[in-house]
Structure 1
């Protein structure tokens, strides 16, 4: 029976942020069918510590520190004509580790999680190649370029152009190219003409994300909660816009920005009406306390885990259309794009608590029936030649 090499740009343990959550569940799914060898980077020293669950489900595991800074990656990229995103993840130790596993094990499939890791797949491999792009990164950088100025705009345009070429080349090699939503997959097909492209959507663990499972944090007055990695530019821009343009339009309530590594721009928002928590052990008590969960993202790619988590916690959610794209919410999200409409949607929910509660219940029901991880990842079985019990098809 062939084995699987899983290459990840970030070790998917513990599953405490969006990209790690998807990787975690895919890895578990694959490991139920075949022995899986995991090679991944860590950009947090804590992720280098032994993880019992990771060791238990993998046939072998190696996590390498990623220490290359953005300045060095940019210099290497400019010198070699590569995207900065690829130069940042170019590592001799990882290349050697991949070669070692391929030489020693009967690898049938190489599952690549995030396009930065495709550079480690040998050109002459006979293994099946599954490329999980998640999102179309070149489109993200093209959007960044629209808002950038001066040299940064030039860099963003360069990154978008080079990544678009890289993505097309990878897809041409891959036996399957995966995206987190059909909208993202359709954009990629239209942009590249690639074949063998399909959506494998994100899911949600509705047992863990259950409002009955945790006690809410204590807060006097309405609490508006945003969760996410807070050194990530779209999240930074989202909370700045909400705090400066939306929150002043609301007579009462505070914004809680819940997430690790808040950037200086985020920390500067802290004050009487804005709480910046930094990293928390568990986001669920904050979600449980929310009068409204907000997702004011102007730039969002794929399916937003933060929105699915809020829905699973039975909270009413107000989101921009960008943040809701790709989510089959069946009318259980309130959508607004400009500041006045966003504030009005929140105010309407605050004015009718019974309706807000019912909206949250309906959102949880949608997630329970539509977004269970097992159902979302079933499409991998056909791609990888598994039957329902894990034998070769």
Structure 2
């Protein structure tokens, strides 16, 4: 029996998942492909694509349309969008080619359902008829721009405030059009509900992130004393919240750790590190790796994983992955938002002095119980996290 068609739109090609949204979309596509012929439309800014990974994705989907996204052209579209009053996030991803492909799929395949991953793709289908729209906002993207505005000055403050308001409008319009909208945590969903009229609040649901606990397993990357890393941070280092958090930690907490433990090492592991981070490489035991093929060896060797996040919405996958690797974790309250973990092995510290003292205590004190992996196995397996998508399956007719 043929499977019904489903249109799936996301703004990043979900392979080589260095970022949390790619991990999420990839697992959703794998889940949906068991029940639907998935027509995937997405963008990539990468010059070269892993052909094996792309073939694997194509094996899950009926059709994969990938548009190569050039940053210079996207920035020109943003300037035009600024004049027209559009959300710059949407202007950045506006494409006649993508719109034409979407229209062909709608006209030829007649998908009864469309799954949107992230706000940026909404304008491609808001006016589509006879399609049930399900939107995975993941987090309240508009509020991220409000946070940026609070930490900026002059022109950038105005620009970020403008984007905040424009995306709030788009999130509202998309919710009105959608049968259901999802967020990564209850706290994120509740935050968004407070922004909505009561007539729309019942549309809001939760679709939590999972972890591939077989992939992120301490069994494959045991830590030995000869190759130990004392402290590690993993994440895309061209992402502002990650840059902000690591620089704050380096400026205010790490010098205190080094005073107490002069041989301590801190590895910053992630692609495209900011030049301000590269300038710290080799100083005070800091190693900035840049892009790596696999973060697991670094997590496996690490004594402590940190997440000093000060700008955030949603759930930090880096925390869940470190938990799955049975790492002791020192992080801010924001880094744990949406992860209601009550287990030994996690310490929440928002002040740099307290964070440094906690790290020193963990590095110099006796080993302590760590139940992080057990908690992840119980509460964040992908097969369980994706069950709310069954509401879409039930709507397919």
TM-score (normalised: structure 2): 0.93
1:3-82 equivalences under 5 Å are 3-47=5-49, 49=51, 51-69=54-72, 71-82=75-86
CA–CA distance in structure 2, aligned partners of residues 217 and 325 of structure 1: 32
Q: Secondary structure at the match of 2:312?
A: coil
Q: Deviations over 1:159-180 (max 9, x none)?
A: 0011101111111110111111
Q: Is the Cα contact below 8 Å between 1:293 and 1:315 reproduced in 2?
A: yes
Q: Secondary structure at the match of 2:322?
A: helix
**Deviation of the 1:73 alpha carbon:** 3.6
CA RMSD of aligned residues (A): 1.7
Q: Secondary structure at the match of 2:195?
A: helix
CA–CA distance in structure 2, aligned partners of residues 101 and 383 of structure 1: 19
- Residue of structure 1 aligned with 2:381, choices 356, 361, 372: 372
1:95-244 equivalences under 5 Å are 95-193=99-197, 194-195=200-201, 196-214=203-221, 216=223, 223-244=230-251
Q: Deviations over 1:29-58 (max 9, x none)?
A: 100111111111011122374612111110
**Deviation of the 1:313 alpha carbon:** 0.3
**Deviation of the 1:347 alpha carbon:** 1.7
Q: Which moved more, 1:41-50 or 1:333-342?
A: 41-50
**Deviation of the 1:353 alpha carbon:** 3.9
**Deviation of the 1:254 alpha carbon:** 1.6
Q: Deviations over 1:93-112 (max 9, x none)?
A: 00011011111113011001
TM-score (normalised: structure 1): 0.94
Q: Deviations over 1:157-209 (max 9, x none)?
A: 00001110111111111011111111111111101233301110000000010
1:260 aligns with 2:274: no
Q: Deviations over 1:55-100 (max 9, x none)?
A: 1110111111111436424311211101111100001100011011
- Over 3 Å counting, the alpha-carbon distance change for 1:102 and 1:216 in structure 2 is farther
- Residue of structure 2 aligned with 1:302, choices 314, 326, 334: 314
Q: Structure 2: any 5+ residue segments left out of the alignment?
A: none
**Deviation of the 1:350 alpha carbon:** 1.6
Q: Is the Cα contact below 8 Å between 2:343 and 2:375 reproduced in 1?
A: no
CA–CA distance in structure 1, aligned partners of residues 112 and 228 of structure 2: 56
**Deviation of the 1:124 alpha carbon:** 3.8
**Deviation of the 1:237 alpha carbon:** 0.6
- Over 3 Å counting, the alpha-carbon distance change for 1:245 and 1:75 in structure 2 is same
Q: Is the Cα contact below 8 Å between 2:18 and 2:236 reproduced in 1?
A: no
**For this pair of structures, how many residues does the alignment match?**
384
Q: Is the Cα contact below 8 Å between 1:225 and 1:293 reproduced in 2?
A: yes
